[in-house]
C-alpha cells in the first residue's frame, strides 16, 4: 500500500555529524543533571550534620561539615555552568539545523520558480496580454453593434451606403415595386365554394332523414294492418 500512495520512509536514514553532536550533548546534559541532584543531596546532608554537631556541642565536627558543604556548593556552581553551556550548545545546533532545512526549502523553491520563469518569458506574457486585450476589445465592439449602439459616424456611413445602393439600382432600373392588391378574388372564390359544399351536404342530410322517417311510417302501418 505504501508503494501505491507514497514513498516508504527510509528506516536506515543517514545520521549526520550534527546529529551525533546533538546526541552527545544530550547525553552529557543528562549526566550533569544527575550529578547536580547528587550534589544537592550531599549539601542538604552536610547541613543536617552540622546542625546535629552543634546541638551535641561538637563545634569542630560542625565546622568540618560546613566546609564540605561549601566545597559541594562550589562544585554545584561549576556543574550548573557546564549544564547551561551544554543546553545552549544543543539548542544552537538544533536551531542551525532548522535554519538549514529552511534554507534548503527556500533554495528548492527558488529553483522551481526559475524553471517556471523559463517556461514563460516576459515577451510571451506581454504578447498574450496584448492578444487578450485585442480579443476583448473586438468582443466589446460586437456587443455594441448587436445592441444597436452605433455612433453618429457609423450612422452616417450606413446612410451613405444606402444612398449609393439606391442610386445604382435606379440606374440599372432594378427597382420595380409591386402594387399591393386591393382584393383577393381567389380567396373569395374558395370561400364561396366552401359555402356551396356545406349547403349541398346539409340538403343531402335532410333528404336522408326524410327517407328514414317515411320508411319508419310504412313499417308502423304494416304492423297495424297485420294486427287487424
pLDDT digits (tens, 9 = 90+) for 76-131: 999 999 999 999 999 999 999 899 999 999 999 999 988 888 887 778 878 888 88
Tell me, yes or no, whether 143 and 170 share the same domain: yes
User: What is the reported pLDDT for 140?
Assistant: 81
Note the pLDDT of residue 221: 53
Q: What residue numbers bound the domain in which 148 lies?
A: 138-175
Percent of the chain topping pLDDT 90 = 32
Q: Is the pTM of this model over 0.75?
A: no
Give the count of domains, the chain.
Answer: 3
pLDDT value for 37: 95
Q: What is the pLDDT of residues 1-37, one digit of tens each?
A: 444 444 454 555 678 888 888 899 999 999 999 999 9
What pLDDT sits at residue 2? 45
Residue 64: burial class (beta carbons within 10 Å; 0-12, 13-18, 19+): middle
- Residue 8, in any domain of the structure: no
Structural domain contains residue 185 = no
Position 182 in a domain: no
Q: Which of 51, 47, 53 has the alpha carbon at shortest distance from 67?
A: 47
Over residues 56-78, mean pLDDT:
92
**Same structural domain for residues 72 and 108?**
yes
* pLDDT value of position 108: 93
180 in a structural domain: no
Amino acid at each position: 500500500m505504501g508503494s501505491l500512495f507514497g514513498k516508504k520512509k527510509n528506516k536506515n536514514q543517514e545520521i549526520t555529524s550534527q546529529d551525533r553532536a546533538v546526541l552527545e550533548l544530550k547525553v552529557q546534559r543528562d549526566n550533569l543533571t544527575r550529578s547536580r541532584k547528587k550534589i544537592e543531596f550531599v549539601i542538604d546532608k552536610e547541613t543536617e550534620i552540622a546542625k546535629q554537631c552543634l546541638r551535641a556541642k561538637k563545634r569542630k565536627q560542625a565546622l568540618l561539615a560546613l566546609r564540605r558543604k561549601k566545597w559541594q556548593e562550589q562544585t554545584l556552581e561549576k556543574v550548573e555552568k557546564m549544564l547551561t553551556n551544554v543546553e545552549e550548545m544543543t539548542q544552537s545546533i538544533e536551531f542551525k539545523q532548522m535554519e538549514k532545512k529552511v534554507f534548503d526549502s527556500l533554495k528548492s523553491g527558488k529553483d522551481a520558480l526559475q524553471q517556471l520563469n523559463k517556461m514563460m518569458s516576459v515577451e510571451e506574457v506581454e504578447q498574450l496580454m496584448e492578444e487578450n486585450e485585442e480579443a476583448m476589445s473586438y468582443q466589446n465592439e460586437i456587443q455594441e453593434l448587436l445592441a444597436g449602439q452605433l455612433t453618429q459616424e457609423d450612422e452616417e456611413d450606413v446612410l451613405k451606403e444606402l444612398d449609393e445602393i439606391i442610386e445604382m439600382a435606379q440606374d440599372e432600373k432594378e427597382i420595380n415595386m409591386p402594387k399591393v392588391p386591393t382584393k383577393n378574388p381567389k380567396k373569395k372564390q374558395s370561400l364561396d365554394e366552401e359555402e356551396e359544399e356545406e349547403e349541398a351536404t346539409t340538403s343531402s342530410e335532410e333528404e336522408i332523414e326524410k327517407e328514414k322517417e317515411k320508411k319508419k311510417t310504412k313499417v308502423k302501418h304494416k304492423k297495424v294492418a297485420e294486427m287487424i
